[in-house]
Chain A
Amino acid sequence: KQEVTQIPAALSVPEGENLVLNCSFTDSAIYNLQWFRQDPGKGLTSLLLIQSSQREQTSGRLNASLDKSSGRSTLYIAASQPGDSATYLCAVHDSSGGGADGLTFGKGTHLIIQP
């Protein structure tokens, strides 16, 4: 069964720093990997989706990489801002179920950007 692990569980850094969030998964048979942002008490906002054939995706100050063979992904946030404070979730879409399966999530990284 797929397991997704995110490190660190929590991170607090001063504004302006560049930072990296890590995600690992146990089964490399995936369709894609997705990074989400969750604000307290809110739903999820999709940040980036990387297909299994891709190595990275970029959106603004965010860059996500994928190394499927080693079961790892990183989310790089450049020039962090207080508005980036949130919980960041990594989720994989397994390919073993023919694409009809839901996502498997990590527990998330709780990020605080200090003004």
Chain B
Amino acid sequence: GAVVSQHPSRVICKSGTSVKIECRSLDFQATTMFWYRQFPKQSLMLMATSNEGSKATYEQGVEKDKFLINHASLTLSTLTVTSAHPEDSSFYICSAGDRRNQPQHFGDGTRLSIL
């Protein structure tokens, strides 16, 4: 079945570092991918919709200059957390679906810890 690969799975870095997370659809093309964030004991919250070949659409309250999204090809979307701070520590997860009425497939997530 369709698979989404996310890398890296774990990042620990110092405050002020920029961190890039990759999300790849392995056996299907995804014109749209989604990025979520999950704080401890909270729901997954949609951060942004990544659109191939155009600008990402950000949810209210998500800083687009802080969370840079690039969707340069039909199989790859990247999320860059720029100048990360401890409050950005969270679990980030991406998803993609090859068809609207089919299940979204999720990556394994990236646990980001900013010291």
Q: A residues touching B (Cβ–Cβ < 8 Å)?
A: 4, 31-32, 34, 36, 41-46, 49, 51, 89, 91, 93, 99-108
Query: How far is A102 from B41 in the complex, measured between Cα atoms in Å?
Result: 20
Q: How far is the CB of A29 from chain B (nearest CB, A)?
A: 15
Residue of A nearest to B47 (CB): A102
**In the complex, which residues of chain A have a beta carbon less than 8 angstroms from the beta carbon of B49?**
100-102
Q: How far is the CB of B54 from chain A (nearest CB, A)?
A: 12
**In the complex, which residues of chain A have a beta carbon less than 8 angstroms from the beta carbon of B103?**
34, 46, 49
Residue of B nearest to A6 (CB): B43
State the majority secondary structure of interface residues on A: strand
Supply 5 further A-B pairs (C-beta < 8 A) apart from A49-B102, A89-B43, A89-B44: A34-B104, A41-B109, A103-B44, A105-B43, A107-B43
Q: B residues touching A (Cβ–Cβ < 8 Å)?
A: 6, 32, 34, 36, 41-46, 49, 93, 95, 100-109, 111
**In the complex, which residues of chain B have a beta carbon less than 8 angstroms from the beta carbon of A89?**
43-44
The 9 residue pairs across chains A and B that have the minimum distance between CB atoms: A43-B108, A102-B46, A102-B34, A44-B106, A46-B103, A105-B44, A43-B109, A105-B43, A49-B103
Asked whether B100 lies within 8 Å of A43 as measured between CB atoms, the reply is no
Q: How far is the CB of B33 from chain A (nearest CB, A)?
A: 9
Query: How far is A32 from B107 in the complex, measured between Cα atoms in Å?
Result: 20
**A51 CB contact (under 8 Å) in B42, B95, B101, B111:** B101
**Contact status of A31 and B46, CB under 8 A, knowing A43-B106, A100-B32:** no
**In the complex, which residues of chain B have a beta carbon less than 8 angstroms from the beta carbon of A93?**
104
**In the complex, which residues of chain B have a beta carbon less than 8 angstroms from the beta carbon of A104?**
46
Query: How far is A89 from B49 in the complex, measured between Cα atoms in Å?
Result: 20
Asked whether A107 lies within 8 Å of B106 as measured between CB atoms, the reply is no
Asked whether A41 lies within 8 Å of B111 as measured between CB atoms, the reply is yes
Q: Can you name 8 A-B residue pairings with CB atoms under 8 Å?
A: A43-B106, A44-B95, A45-B106, A49-B102, A49-B103, A102-B46, A105-B44, A107-B41
